[in-house]
Structure formats: C-alpha cells, structure tokens
A and B are shown apart, each in its own frame.
Chain A
C-alpha cells in the first residue's frame, strides 16, 4: 500500500525533514509512526499526501508513483485516502451532518449516496444523535469522531492520522484509537503518527520510530519505547 524507497526531504532553510527513509506498509496494516515533536512524523504524512515533494527518493502509494503524478491528477489520488488532524479541522458554520456530507459533495457524489452513507458513518462513530449539532457544541472527542467520519465516508483505501489524539484527554484518546482500530479491521490501511506513549504501548501494533528524521526502530506488535 505504502512503499517509500530512500526518501529524503530537505526544507528550503536547509532544515532536514527526513533522511533516507525506506519503509513498506502492506494493504490492511495498522502502523504507528512515533517520535518526539520535530522528529519528522508530520513530514512523512505530508509526503504521503503529496502535499510536499521529496528532495530525493521514490514514494509509491496505492500503486501510484507520486513523482509521476500530474498536478491535475492529485485530487483524484487524494480521494483514495482519508486524513485526520490533531486540530480536527471541522467547518464551524456547518453541522455535523453537513461536515461529513461536505466530503462527499466535494467528490461530486450523488445525493442518494450522500443521504445513505453519511448517517451510516455517523452511526459507526456513535454520533447519529448529534447530526444537527454544530462543532462548537461538541466535546473534543466528538469533534475528532466527526473528523474521522469525514475521513472515511468516501471509503478510502488508506487512512492517515497526524496526532489524532494530541488535543484529547487520555480516556477520549483511547476511544478515538479504538475507532481507528475498528476502521482498520474493516479493511482500511491505517497509519497513525503520534507521541501518545501509553496508547501505543497498549495497542500492540506495528511501531515505526523516527528520530532526527531517520527510522530508528521498526517493530511488529511493539511499544513506544521498545529497545532495539
């Protein structure tokens, strides 16, 4: 699903994003990318979204070679992945239902499909009763659930989450992680960048550790601070 080969990203001010990263994440996998802030986690996520270009190396996602992707075809590439951020990024002027429906309108889905899929995803994240609420009427955990619902409503093959629990208390964070696990079990390849140590330790999933822009460890069913 994700194949990175010797990828280096150097930012304009000579600051290194990541250095010589090679990794493979198979279809249906669940993987954590862990590391302290500034270690390069977000750079990896942004590279996978083709938001930034690598300075060197190849990235292949969903059988698409990213560097051969034209500007025009980037939107169609992104339709096959869902993204979740630390700050939720919901539209404050739209209701929960509209926020999720927005993702389907954006890809010009049929009204019939929107009316069928949106309530189904909201039920999956447990928010069917809050469909008419606005984001500022929801708790942080609920807002992140809406954001998750929006990310998966178009049935992406790959779900990328960048610090999804960074703004949440531990209990809510755990609920969100469980949701991510549920989504993964339905077949969506899931990559979560985080530094939530307790959760990573509890989940017993694959853990890729980034330090100073380089892969320090890559352990199946690992924990946050497992030694090499």
Chain B
C-alpha cells in the first residue's frame, strides 16, 4: 500500500460509513450487543473462577501431630513440609490456638468447653498446609505420608468439596467459551451482510475502478477499513460501558448482600480489562475485516 493511498482509503471508508448511515448504525448496534454479552460473560466467568480459586486456597490440608513429638522437632518438621513441591505456606497451630479457634466457632455454646482444665487440652497440635493449586493435592499428600515416622499422625482434607469446586470451575469455563464463540459467529454474519449492502450500493464504483485499472487490493482496502471501523466502534463502546460500570455493579452487589464482603473478593477492573479490552477490540477489528473480505469476493472476480 502506497502511503498517499492511505488517506484516500480512510476518506473512502468514512464516506462509506456515513453514506449508509442507517446500515452502519444498525450493524454497530448489533456488534455492540454481541460484544456487550461477550464482555459480560467474560467478567462473570472470570469472577466465578476467581471465587472458586479463593475457596480452593482456603481449603488447606490439616496435618495433625502425635503428642510425643518434642517441641524442638517442630521447626525442622515444618521446614521439611515447606520443601515439598507445591506447598505454598505452612502454619503451626498449637493446641492452645486450636482450642481458641474451636471456642470461636462454638460461639454462644462455648460454655461446653468450660469443664476442660487449662493443662489438659485434648486438641492435637497441627500444621495448616496451603497448596499452590488444589490439583496438586494428591502428590503432596503422598509426600506427607512419607513423613509419618517423624511424628505426623493424620492428614485431613475434604475431598468432595474440592472435586466439586474443580468441576464447577471447568463447567463454567466451557459454557462461557461456547457463548462467546456463538456470539462471534453471529457478529461476523451480521457484518458480512452490512458490508454486502455497502458493496452492492457501490458496485458501479467497483466496476469503474476495475475498468480504470485498480488492483484488487486498492478496491478492497476502503471496505476493509469500513468493516474494521464498524467492528472497532462496536467493540469499544460495550467494553467502555463494562469498564465504567464494573466497580458500580460490584459495589451494588456488596450493598445488597453484605455477608459476601467477608467471604469473597471480586477481581479488580484493571485485572479484568487488561485482557478483555485489547482482546475485544482486536476481535471487533478482526470480525469487521473478515466480514468485508468475504462479502467482496464475488465482486472482484474477473
């Protein structure tokens, strides 16, 4: 493409957009609604995945110790556990800590524990072991089993909850990918139709250009740019709306369900949009140019 043609292509593309104002507007709106749903499903899927991740990481392994382990062995044992691959943190929980936590959990019923004398705490000491990813649980457990001779009595985890979380997470990812794919196909078809109409209203122009000796690419570029503009505007507006609306919606949800605030945390807007914004814009531009190229094919033969 020669540089001096670029301004010509841009002008022609803008003229095309403005000349078929209604069609351009209609297709921008359609792409917008598709991209709005795409952005929304992406935000939703990301946050659900994020919630599950938070739940997963709170599902730590509890490693209970035998009562006969001398206190001076605790530190070496702790660092041994830390050195197991995929172990993120190891926190020591003394019998007293365990009792205190138990009391808290009992709340109003903690009077039940009043009969227990201070020096006869029945709760065992333990390590609270957090993993980098819950999927690595089995390998860590195997390693921990190997440490039983050093004083580990029992390893506890809630297998059912963990498996449920993993499968929910996978299901949501698959569903959101399917929704997004379907909407992309819908958008391409709609843009193809719009550009087809633009091309049709300008077929005489294309015919004349061919008689004069315009190359195929020279004829194509204005239409491609027009499609790109439709795709870009159609993606930029919903992404901007989602971006500005995001924090407001999160605040609303917390306002409505106060209990959630202590349980979960939403992904921050920059975290989501650093991926969503460029991906959506690139997608819009791609959809637009793909629609243009395919609707021009018939007109450029011979």
Which of A49, A93, A106, A150 is B214 in contact with, Cβ under 8 Å? A106
- Collect the chain B residues with CB atoms within 8 Å of residue A150's CB: 212
Contact with A along B274-302 (1 / 0, CB 8 A): 00000000000000000000000000001
- Collect the chain B residues with CB atoms within 8 Å of residue A106's CB: 209, 212-214, 218
Say how far B202's CB is from chain A's closest CB, in angstroms: 9
- Collect the chain B residues with CB atoms within 8 Å of residue A78's CB: 210-213
Interchain CA distance A102-B207 in the complex, whole Å: 13
Interchain CA distance A159-B213 in the complex, whole Å: 14
Q: Number of contacts between A and B (CB, 8 Å)?
A: 51
Interchain CA distance A72-B302 in the complex, whole Å: 10
B side interface size, CB within 8 A: 20
Contact with A along B189-224 (1 / 0, CB 8 A): 000000000000000110111111111101000000
A108/B212 contact (C-beta < 8 A), A89-B204, A91-B204 known: no
Q: Indicate if B5 sits at the interface (CB-CB under 8 A).
A: yes
- Collect the chain A residues with CB atoms within 8 Å of residue B5's CB: 105, 108
Within 8 A of B (CB), among A77-110: 77-80, 83, 89, 91, 93, 102-103, 105-108, 110
Which of B4, B204, B213 is A79 in contact with, Cβ under 8 Å? B213
Interchain CA distance A78-B212 in the complex, whole Å: 6
- Collect the chain B residues with CB atoms within 8 Å of residue A91's CB: 204-205, 208
Q: Are B213 and A51 in contact, with the CB atoms below 8 A?
A: no
Interchain CA distance A102-B11 in the complex, whole Å: 13
Q: Indicate if A39 sits at the interface (CB-CB under 8 A).
A: no
- Collect the chain B residues with CB atoms within 8 Å of residue A110's CB: 4
Which of B8, B212, B216 is A154 in contact with, Cβ under 8 Å? B212
Residue of A nearest to B300 (CB): A71
Q: Indicate if A12 sits at the interface (CB-CB under 8 A).
A: no
Chain B interface residues toward A at CB < 8 A: 2, 4-5, 8, 15, 19, 204-205, 207-216, 218, 302
Since A49-B211, A107-B212, A110-B4 are in contact, a sample of 11 more A-B pairs with Cβ atoms closer than 8 Å, ordered by chain A residue number, is A75-B210, A75-B213, A78-B210, A80-B213, A91-B204, A93-B15, A102-B212, A103-B212, A108-B4, A111-B4, A154-B212
Closest 10 pairs (CB-CB, A-B): A79-B213, A78-B213, A106-B214, A75-B213, A75-B215, A106-B212, A83-B211, A103-B212, A108-B2, A106-B209
Q: List 16 A-B contacts (CB under 8 A).
A: A75-B213, A75-B216, A78-B210, A91-B208, A93-B19, A102-B212, A103-B212, A105-B8, A106-B212, A106-B213, A106-B214, A106-B218, A107-B212, A107-B214, A108-B2, A111-B4
